[in-house]
Structure 1
Amino acid sequence: MLSPVDFIQDLLNPDLAFLPKALVVAIMSSIVTGVVGTYVVLRGMAFIGDAVAHAVFPGLAVAFVLQGNLVLGGAVAGVVTAVLVALLSQNRRLREDSIIGVLFVAAFALGIVIISQAPGYAGSLQQFLFGSITGIPDEDVVVVAIGGALILAFVFLFHRDFVLITLDREMARAAGVPVLPLDLLLYALVAMAVVLSVQMIGNVLVLALLIAPAATARLLTDRLGVMMTLAPVIGAVSAIVGLYLSWSVDLPAGGTIVLVATAFFVGAWLLAPKHGILSSRWARRPAAVAP
Structure 2
Amino acid sequence: MDWLTAPFEVTFVQRALWGGILVSAICALAGTWVVLRGMAFLGDAMSHGLLPGVALAALFGGNLLVGAVASAVVMTAGVTALGRTPRISQDTGIGLLFVGMLSLGVIIVSRSQSFAVDLTGFLFGDVLAVGEQDLVLLGVALLVATAVSVLGHRAFLALAFDPRKARTLGLRPRLAHAVLLALLGLAIVASFHIVGTLLVLGLLIAPPAAALPWAQSVRGVMLLAALVGTTATFGGLLVSWHLSTAAGATVAALAVSLFFVSHLASGLRHRRTSPANSTLPKAD
TM-score (norm 1): 0.88
Confirm or deny that 1:12 pairs with 2:2. no
Cα displacement (A) at 1:92: 2.9
Q: Could you say which residue in structure 1 is the equivalent of 2:156?
A: 162
Give the secondary-structure state (helix, strand or coil) at the position aligned to 1:203.
coil
Letter aligned with residue 190 of structure 1: L
For 1:239, the equivalent position in structure 2 comes to 233
Paired positions, count? 275
Tell me the CA shift for residue 239 of structure 1: 0.8
- Answer whether contact 1:148 1:196 (CA < 8 A) is retained: no
Letter in 2 for 1:237: T
Unmatched tracts of structure 1, length 5 or more: 286-291
User: Within 5 Å, which residues of 2 pair with 1:14-33?
Assistant: 17-33=11-27
Distance in 1 separating the partners of 2:202 and 2:4:
26
Q: Distance in 2 between matches of 1:38 and 1:190?
A: 10
| Cα deviations by residue, 1:63-104 (Å, 9 ceiling, x for unpaired) | 222222222221121122112102211223322111100001
Separation in 2 of the partners of 1:218 and 1:31?
16
Match of 1:146 in 2: 140
Cα-to-partner distance string for 1:117-162 (whole Å, 9 max, x where unaligned)? 4477467132221111122344333222212221121111111111
Q: 1:148, 1:82 → 2: CA distance? A: 19
Do 2:49 and 2:98's aligned partners in 1 also have CA atoms closer than 8 Å?
yes
Give 1:203-282 correspondences, 5 Å limit: 203-272=197-266, 276=267, 278-282=268-272
**Is this contact kept in 1: 2:20–2:230, CA < 8 A?**
yes
Matches within 5 A, 1:187-198: 187-198=181-192
C-alpha distance in structure 2 between counterparts of 1:227 and 1:263, whole Å: 18
Check if 1:124 corresponds to 2:114. no
Q: Which residue of 1 aligns with 2:281?
A: none
- Give the Cα separation in 2 of the matches to 1:62 and 1:227: 37
Between the aligned partners of 1:149 and 1:240, the Cα distance in structure 2 is: 22
Deviation of 1:185 (Å): 0.9
Per mean C-alpha deviation after superposition, the further-off stretch among 148-157 and 116-125 is: 116-125
The 1:135/1:115 distance shift into structure 2, 3 A limit, reads farther
Shift of 1:25: 1.1
Query: Could you say which structure has the larger radius of gyration?
Result: 1
Q: Do residues 68 (structure 1) and 62 (structure 2) align?
A: yes
Q: CA deviation at 1:251?
A: 0.6
Distance 2:162 2:173 in 1: 11
Percent pairwise identity: 34
SS of equivalent residue, structure 2 residue 199: helix
What is the CA RMSD across the aligned residues, in angstroms? 2.1
Paired AA for residue 9 in structure 2: L
Equivalent-residue separation in structure 1 for 2:233 and 2:137 (angstroms): 19
Question: What CA distance in whole angstroms lies between the structure 1 residues aligned with 2:5 and 2:192?
Answer: 29
SS in structure 1 of the partner of residue 197 of structure 2: helix
CA distance, structure 2, for counterparts of residue 53 and residue 270 of structure 1: 29
Deviations 1:166-218 (A, max 9, x none): 11111111222111111111101101100111111111110121100000111
Structure 2: runs of 5+ lacking an equivalent? 276-284
Where 2:31 maps in the other structure, the secondary structure is helix
Tell me the equivalent position of 1:89.
83
Q: Which runs of 4+ in 1 moved over 6 A?
A: none
The answer as to whether partners of 2:202 and 2:253 remain within 8 angstroms in 1 is no
SS at match of 1:220: coil
